[in-house]
Structure 1
Amino acid sequence: MWALLLMSIYAAYLGLQVQRTRNAQGEQKKELVKGRYNVRHYQIGSILLALMVIGSVGGMAVTYINNGKLFVGPHLLAGLGMTSLIALSASLSPYMQKGANWARATHILLNFVLLGLFAWQAITGVQIVQRIISNA
């Protein structure tokens, strides 16, 4: 989970570089285009989408298999919210590719909320693992 959080921060960095590239002019734009930030952002985002969905479903499956139930609490609800947010954010890609600024702004907003939830999710996940270890 912590590796995914770091990957998410890297995706945010790449997204900011894409925005810088879009707003740059002249020589600066030529230099930024060489970084292929847009391609890397899209690729990392796709990997994050897949891993988050798999992680969310996998986490719930393992919890259910081990305990015969899901523990409805902040960690589960935040995880489900994160899964929904990343899917919604990714679904805006076709609109952003066509130049829709509303989609870009929504994508950025969703991803910053997602990043905040993810940081909190990682911390509560460590607490859950510590509880499991202490009960073993």
Structure 2
Amino acid sequence: MELPESVKVWSQFFHPAFMWILLGASVYTLYLGIQFRRARNGAEGVKEKKGKLREKHYTLSSILLALVVLGNLGGMAITYINNGKLFVGPHLLVGLGMLALFAASAALVPWMTKGNNLARNAHIVFNVGILGLFSWQALTGMQILFKIIGGLGGSDAA
């Protein structure tokens, strides 16, 4: 499948922009999760919002999971379409690792709803790890984007 050159060039900007938006949404989801945890533990000022916080955190997390998977696959697809191959390096491997952590974190939810504290703590650890990796991904992704913009051939484009 051969795309017009202008589509190939501009498609390379979609993945980074989309993922930066998802990074921001991840930070907000973390904030909601912290607020829900405080409400569940009886903190004044948020206790009365417990149900609403849980629902917002759960809904945004579900949407975020789907969009991160699509964004990751989209980045790989764009790289493959533009270069005829994927560039196996830290950016790609960490991105795939993040997907595994996202899936593991989401898989803990049924146990969390039954009050399993080990599942809750693992969920928190996984998601803090994801956020750290996601931040690193954002920075390395910008380095890749600047190489593409600089005309270095995009040899590190995934």
Normalized against structure 1, the TM-score is what? 0.92
Identity %: 57
Q: Distance in 2 between matches of 1:33 and 1:109?
A: 22
Paired residue total: 134
Alignment partner for residue 50 of structure 2, among 30, 33, 40? 33
Look up the match of 1:20: 38
Whether 1:2 and 2:31 are equivalent positions in the alignment is: no
Give the letter for the 2:119 counterpart: A
Structure 2 counterparts to residues 120-135 of structure 1, below 5 A: 120-135=136-151
Q: CA deviation at 1:30?
A: 4.4
**Aligned pair in 2 of structure 1 residues 109, 30: CA closer, same or farther (>3 Å)?**
closer
- Give the Å deviation of 1:16: 0.4
Q: Give secondary structure in 1 for the equivalent of 2:86.
A: coil
Unaligned runs of 5+ in 1: none
Whether the aligned pair in 1 keeps the contact of 2:91 and 2:140 (CA below 8 Å) is yes
Take 1:4 and 1:83, find their aligned partners in 2: how far apart are those partners? 13
Quick one: distance in 1 between partners of 2:67 and 2:136? 18
- 2:47 and 2:30 map into 1 onto residues whose CA distance is 21
Counting helix residues as a fraction of each chain, which structure ranks higher?
1
Distance 2:82 2:50 in 1: 49
Distance 1:30 1:110 in 2: 25
Q: How does 1:83-102 map to 2 (within 5 A)?
A: 83-102=99-118
State the distance in 2 between where 1:69 and 1:83 align.
20
Deviation by residue 1:20-57 (Cα, 9 ceiling, x = unmatched): 011116x64643336x1100000110111001100111
Gaps of at least 5 residues in structure 2 are 1-18, 154-158
Aligned residues of 2:26 and 2:131 also touching (Cα < 8 A): yes
